[in-house]
Structure 1
């Protein structure tokens, strides 16, 4: 299990400290905040892989704190904790992306299970002939817990989809051997479609191809240059959608 930077937000100091100690024993790096204001301050200038957020806090309630953090980091993963039945507040949190709700009192094992549930998982295939982009993307995704394969051209991308069955394909449009659109059509013909995120530096020149792929229900499209967080967010959205579908 990959160590995670985890923020614990709870005004119950004994509980917050106990959770922090349990997470340290599992190899994680916990940070503790005892109020909503302190949690927001902790988020300034850095991010966390996961946050456990109490709903009832002494200054700003946990849902408002969560919403503020989400404005700062749209990919923030937050699990709400509460010993109260505050259904309207909890519904607001989950509607805006909170992962789940833990009802107090809970066993420490529930905390650890929740962490396992949000660990990034799956194999991402990055198909791009730009070695710098491919290498930096591979490194970034690996740092966030994903397994990564790289293909340098369209034909190799198809071969690796067949041989390795990746969960997500990050596909450049302009590649040697086969254009990205042709890769998509070949995968579709072979009934090997999977979530695909298109990346391209040629938004204007490749406009027709981008429009065609969007009409074919490609999952997303990013125009180079883009911030690394944008790709992580796109992959995270796919993972969350998959989790929701699995629960139906």
Structure 2
């Protein structure tokens, strides 16, 4: 069984790696250090981890290549990437394959601790659409990429689900009968200020989108969209300092 408090820190810079490890240990985590991707893979073969925090740019295997190998050894492993460089294509690949979030250096240790805690909470992405086929198709795409995701089909069910079990990110249609996306967003944010809400719409008027963002909505995607585009929005929401 994977330790719920064991974190693997992977960074080729010894000072950065030691600082990360020391701060995470102060938060009560058991930390294992690896100086590169090869050592991270060896560590994953020997013990189970709840989360991996890995730099992207490293000699040998980069962070995304390391992530892929770690997922082969421990399927479903939660991985957070760190980077100080604009390696957008590489980062896009990682997010599209299920990286939990990307943190850009420099960052505060408080911000890092909040993201680690959020990631380890293993809360699902909740997809809300009054068309079940649409909701289930999105959920299937997210699950295929390794994300935990669930579907409900109206705003009332979304709010009830958020009350029963904490939700990480909620993806909801703006135009729904009974309880629209704007009101659902407002109620979700009242339930927990940590829930990030992403809207999707094919025909909502601009004033509705404005009302959504003014009530704490994080982003709005225009239908139709690729699941990869949604995954990028989810990863950004998870790493945004305001969402932790």
Does residue 106 of structure 2 align to residue 94 of structure 1?
yes
Root mean square deviation, CA, Å: 4.8
Q: Does structure 1 residue 73 correspond to structure 2 residue 85?
A: no
Please report how far the alpha carbon of residue 215 of structure 1 lies from its aligned counterpart in structure 2 after TM superposition: 2.2
Secondary structure at the aligned position of 1:122 is classed as coil
Q: Do the aligned partners of residues 145 and 119 (structure 1) sit closer, same or farther apart at CA in structure 2, a change above 3 Å counting?
A: farther
Contact 2:197 2:217 (8 Å CA) reproduced? yes
Aligned to 2:123: 122
Within 2, Cα distance between the matches of 1:244 and 1:124? 14
**Which SS does the other structure have where 2:170 is aligned?**
strand
Task: Name the structure 1 match of 2:20.
Answer: none
Paired with 1:160 and 1:41, the residues of 2 have a C-alpha distance of 33
Aligned twin of 1:150: 151
Q: Which residue of 2 aligns with 1:222?
A: 221
Cα displacement (A) at 1:172: 0.6
Q: Look up the SS of the partner of 2:171 in the other structure.
A: strand
Change (3 A) 1:176 1:67: same
User: Could you list the per-position Cα deviations for residues 165-209 of structure 1 after superposition, in whole angstroms to 9, with x for gaps in the alignment?
Assistant: 423221111223322123234x17x9325321111122xx42221
Quickly say closer, same or farther: Cα 1:9–1:69, change in 2 above 3 A.
farther
Aligned twin of 1:212? 211
| Cα distance in structure 1, aligned partners of 2:132 and 2:148 | 18
The answer to whether the aligner puts 1:168 opposite 2:169 as a matched pair is: yes
- Partner Cα distance (2:168, 2:118) in 1: 17
Q: Distance in 2 between matches of 1:41 and 1:124?
A: 22
- How big is each residue's C-alpha offset from its partner over 1:40-68, in whole Å with a ceiling of 9 and x where there is no partner? 9969xxxx875889xxxxxxxxx7xx736
Pair 234,119 (structure 1): closer, same or farther in 2 beyond 3 Å: farther
Computing the radius of gyration from Cα coordinates, the structure with the larger value is 1
Q: Secondary structure at the match of 2:191?
A: coil
Match of 2:25 in 1: none
Report matched runs for 1:1-248 at 5 Å. 16=36, 17-26=38-47, 39=62, 67=85, 69-74=87-92, 75=95, 93-94=105-106, 121-185=122-186, 187=187, 191-192=190-191, 194-202=195-203, 205-241=204-240, 245=244
> Structure 1 residues 135, 40: closer, same or farther in 2, change over 3 A?
same
Which runs of 5 or more structure 1 residues have no equivalent in the other structure? 29-33, 54-62, 80-91, 101-114
Q: Which has the higher contact order (CA 8 A, sep 6+)?
A: 2
Instruction: Provide closer, same or farther for how the CA distance between residues 20 and 51 of structure 1 changes in structure 2, counting only shifts above 3 A.
Output: farther
Q: Residues 9 and 39 of structure 1 are in contact (CA less than 8 Å); yes or no, is this contact kept in structure 2?
A: no
Paired residues, number: 195
Query: Residues 120 and 145 of structure 1 are in contact (CA less than 8 Å); yes or no, is this contact kept in structure 2?
Result: no
2:52 aligned partner: none
Distance of aligned partners of 1:116 and 1:70 in 2 relative to their CA distance in 1, 3 Å threshold: farther
CA distance in 2, matches of 1:206, 1:234: 21
